[in-house]
Amino acid sequence: MAKPTTCVYARDVAGNVRAFTGGNGDMATYINGVANGGFESANFNSWSTGGALPVSIVPPAPQPPDVGLYSASLGARLWPKPARTPDRARGIGRLRQTVRLPERGDWPVIYLGLRYRIYTYDVMWSDYFQEYIDTFDVYLLDSAGVQLAHLLRDGNPDRNLIGPGRPVVDLGWKEVNLDISQFAGQTVQIVMANANRRDQIYNTWTIVDNVSITAPGRRVTFYPA
């Protein structure tokens, strides 16, 4: 059977159409390896969830451009008032997905990208306890669950913003592209976790969206809708 042939054409602003000849045969397409990274299926298809804190699908309000209709929420979103009660768990809310990264020879740079928004009544680090309190973290594990890299840790650094009667601290939408090129060609687990470590009074939760693996550079990268 003959190999299929794909013809690519380009149209300029004047409407002229001709065959695309760029690239000298060195063109390729990388399809985002993260499945359901925008959570537009309105469920956690292709993801596994875990931890003591709730993980749910929510509308990403207030919604930024090109995020879509749904996001993932990690952690307890709202508690009625600051009070220690048994039903308020300490621990983490976690999302995990296993992916195969592209080969380094084909793609010079590989990024894990995502958008996230942290809401918190607590601090990231406590000088008093000398430990991390509430954070959002991104890890890369190997296929056996051994940590390869701790890629991101974020949270509220300002102690002056929290306390009894203080409003929730909204850290706003952030977008990151984390270089994971050194793990090219490996099967890895992407893990995102919202952690409430010390108390059951001041909670933190994180909205996550647009999780993707991209490989920009000398080749063409395609981002599926």
Write down the CATH superfamily of domain 30-218: Galactose-binding domain-like (2.60.120.260)
- SS3 category, 161: helix
Q: pLDDT digits over 145-157, tens only?
A: 999 999 999 999 9
Confidence of residue 119 (pLDDT cuts 50, 70, 90): very high
Cα–Cα distance between 102 and 214 in angstroms, integer? 9
**pLDDT value at 100 more than 90:** yes
Q: Distances in Å between the alpha carbon of 121 and those of 37, 72, 125, 202?
A: 27, 19, 13, 5
**pLDDT value at 32 more than 60:** yes
Average pLDDT over residues 7-16: 50
**pLDDT value at 14 more than 50:** no
pLDDT at residue 130 in the model: 95
pLDDT at residue 8 in the model: 52
Q: pLDDT digits over 162-173, tens only?
A: 988 889 999 999
CA 153 to chain centre: 12
Q: Distances in Å between the alpha carbon of 192 and those of 31, 71, 109, 114, 195?
A: 21, 13, 21, 10, 10
User: Which range (5-9, 41-45, 46-50, 117-121) has the least confidence?
Assistant: 5-9
As given in the structure block, the two tokens for residue 116 are 């996230």
As given in the structure block, the two tokens for residue 167 are 């409003």
Q: Which of 207, 178, 200, 168 is nearest to 74 (CA)?
A: 207
pLDDT at residue 201 in the model: 76
Instruction: Tell me the HSE value of 108 on the side-chain side, using a 13 A CA sphere.
Output: 5
Cα–Cα distance between 181 and 183 in angstroms, integer? 5
pLDDT at residue 82 in the model: 53
| CB neighbourhood size of 203 (10 A) | 24
| Plot region of 3 (φ>0 → left; ψ -120 to 50 → alpha; else → beta) | beta
User: Which range (67-71, 116-120, 182-186) has the least confidence?
Assistant: 67-71
Average pLDDT over residues 31-58: 93
**pLDDT value at 10 more than 60:** no
pLDDT at residue 87 in the model: 53
| CB neighbourhood size of 88 (10 A) | 15
Amino acid at 78: L
pLDDT at residue 222 in the model: 45
Name, of 11-15, 103-107, 185-189, the range with top average pLDDT: 185-189
